[in-house]
Amino acid sequence: MTYRIGELAKMIGVSEHTLRYYEKEGLVVPDRNKNNIRCYTEDHKLWAEFILHMKDIGMSLEDLKDIQNYGH
């Protein structure tokens, strides 16, 4: 299943702007369809939810980037 930015934003309780910011920061990078529309997968959704949870307990976006890049 794939979601457009508005669908995912609504599902996880953030604004589209927040998802675009996460994309700009390299945290949640969606696939793009042939019309260049963002397409988020279930994995993107789970990762975005993880980011939100970790932010709620005080983790910085920089620390989350380190986690994301660990082992790459």
pLDDT at 40: 98
Nearest to 16 by CA among 29, 24, 7, 25: 7
The CATH number for 44's domain is 1.10.1660.10
CB-based contacts of 31, cutoff 8 Å, min separation 6: 2, 38, 39, 40, 41
> Could you tell me the pLDDT band of residue 66, with boundaries at 50, 70 and 90?
confident
Nearby residues of 44 by Cβ (< 8 Å), 6 or more positions away: 3, 8, 28, 30
Query: pTM for this structure?
Result: 0.88
- 9-58 pLDDT, tens per residue? 999 999 999 999 999 999 999 999 999 999 999 999 999 999 999 999 99
| pLDDT (average), residues 52-65 | 94
With CA atoms as reference, report the closest residue to 45 among 19, 15, 17, 72.
Answer: 19
Say how many domains are in the chain: 1
Q: Which residues form the domain of 19?
A: 2-69
